[in-house]
Amino acid sequence: MKILVINSGSSSLKYQLFQMPSDHPLCAGLVERIGVAGSDIQNHEQALQQVLNSLSTLGFINSPDEIDVVGHRVVHGGESFLGPTIITDEVKAQIKALFSLAPLHNQVSYTCIEVAEKTFPTAKQIAVFDTAYHQTLPDYAYRYAIPKKYYTGERIRKYGFHGTSHKYVGEQAAKYLGKTESKIITIHLGNGCSMAALLNSKSIETSMGFGPLSGLMMGTRSGDIDPSVIFHLLDHKGYTPADVNQLLNKASGLQGMAGSNDMRDVHRFAAEGDAEASLALAIYAYRIKLTIGAYAAVLNGLDAIVFTAGVGENDQLLRAAVCRDLSYLGIELDGVKNGQYNKEILEINRPEGKVKIMIIPTNEEVEIANQCYEMLHDK
Ligand SMILES: Nc1ncnc2c1ncn2[C@@H]1O[C@H](COP(=O)(O)OP(=O)(O)O)[C@@H](O)[C@H]1O
Ligand SMILES: CC(=O)OP(=O)(O)O
Ligand SMILES: [Mg+2]
């Protein structure tokens, strides 16, 4: 069974082609900096077209009907989708209905689904949702302290995102620990950033909420901000709701503070003496540290913290800043090991540290392919 997985992030499109059941890809690739100023690739449709052309020019597929399944990452599945789902017209309508809740993401996934349906008309199209893994949060974690009718009527609650990544690295960490019971914090730092508290490999708390805007500071998103700021801008400063949306989703975070959403740029600006870039780095790390403290309390203990995704895997300075002065919690980073990551699971704590600090490369594509394969096999 040949499965093509398409993972559309807010600024990138990753793909992998699998001959299942092997989870070693036949080919894999990444289109980066989509829609970023100065980039050749303006949108996800163009990016996907480029991927599909290269799959056939490079000879990985000779004809579209060789693809049995296209697995799509879809960010927002609301409360309806708990596992991999065959995409029907009704499912597409539900994904569309969630556009307003995840403005950077669901529209992009929807575009990718439509392009894939046209390109691979004989393949099964399957969606795997970021929200699915966080459906195990207890009600006191997912409900907001507002009247019940906003939950029952408007479905306003914490959903959480990046679930496929938190699940994948969390399960690897639990396996690595070799314990049946585990308390793990996963830290996904890509363009979007989120953390999850995992009790025995189930998500019990996470930092994103109703949409993928809350929690940590991100590439272009503010993360947590007092909602009073929004009322102030609307009521007294002439902003429209669309202006505020643009500000908090696209013109904040690293982009808004330091002028680039690419962490590599921000480090360069800071090294060149840009004080606001240095402050952006400090805030970015501080928010993660705050959340580690909170999640250690929620879990009532801690076996491991896991760094993953673009920044989490590759940025040793950031990891060092997060782990500094956390020895009270048993978090003690080994400065040498911290610099030795080479795309494989790596333990980077000092031997005397009670808590394992790990870098685990996320692989949302493998996780999606496995979920699709298992679903079709169980039938
Ligand atoms: N060597 C590196 N050092 C620091 N940050 C890096 C490095 N390589 C990639 N990144 C950062 O990873 C982020 C993208 O992560 P990724 O997980 O691919 O994001 P997404 O899937 O949300 O598009 C970018 O901010 C990029 O700057
Ligand atoms: C949900 C989310 O923020 O996804 P990404 O990090 O891929 O933008
Ligand atoms: Mg991503």
Examine the fold and report which residue of 89, 113, 129 is the final residue of a domain before the chain moves on.
129
CATH label of the domain that carries residue 51: 3.30.420.40
Supply the range of the domain harboring residue 20. Answer: 2-129
Residues 209, 350 within the same domain: yes
Is residue 33 pLDDT above 90, yes or no?
no
Examine the fold and report which residue of 87, 106, 129 is the final residue of a domain before the chain moves on.
129
Residues 211, 117 within the same domain: no
Is residue 1 pLDDT above 70, yes or no?
yes
Count of alpha carbons within 13 angstroms of residue 358, beta-carbon side: 26
ipTM of the predicted structure? 0.98
Residues 90, 187 within the same domain: no
User: Is the overall model pTM greater than 0.80, yes or no?
Assistant: yes
Residues 110, 202 within the same domain: no
Residues 88, 193 within the same domain: no
Asked if residue 174 belongs to a domain, the reply is no
Residues 202, 324 within the same domain: yes
* pLDDT, tens digit, 9 for 90 and up, residues 101-155: 877 788 999 999 999 999 899 999 999 999 999 999 999 999 999 999 999 999 9
The residue among 50 and 171 whose pLDDT is bigger is 171
Asked if residue 320 belongs to a domain, the reply is yes
pLDDT recorded at residue 379: 59
Provide the number of structural domains found in the chain. 2
Least reliable range by pLDDT among 31-35, 123-127, 134-138, 185-189: 31-35
Is residue 11 pLDDT above 80, yes or no?
no
Is residue 37 pLDDT above 90, yes or no?
no
Q: Could you give the percent of the chain with pLDDT greater than 70?
A: 100
pLDDT recorded at residue 326: 98
Residues 224, 316 within the same domain: yes
Separation of 283 CA from ligand 2 center, angstroms? 19
Name residues contacting ligand 1 (CB within 6 A): 9-12, 190-192, 219, 262-264, 309-311, 314-315
Which among 189, 314, 360 is the best mutation to test ligand 1's pocket, defined by most ligand atoms within 8 Å of the CB?
Answer: 314
* Nearest CA residue ID for atom 2, ligand 2: 192
Asked if residue 112 belongs to a domain, the reply is yes
Examine the fold and report which residue of 90, 112, 129 is the final residue of a domain before the chain moves on.
129
Contacting residues for 4 by C-beta, under 8 A, at least 6 apart = 15, 16, 17, 18, 55, 67, 69, 70, 71, 116, 120, 123
What is the chain's mean pLDDT, rounded? Answer: 95
- In 3D, which of 308, 372, 367, 366 has the Cα closest to residue 24? 366
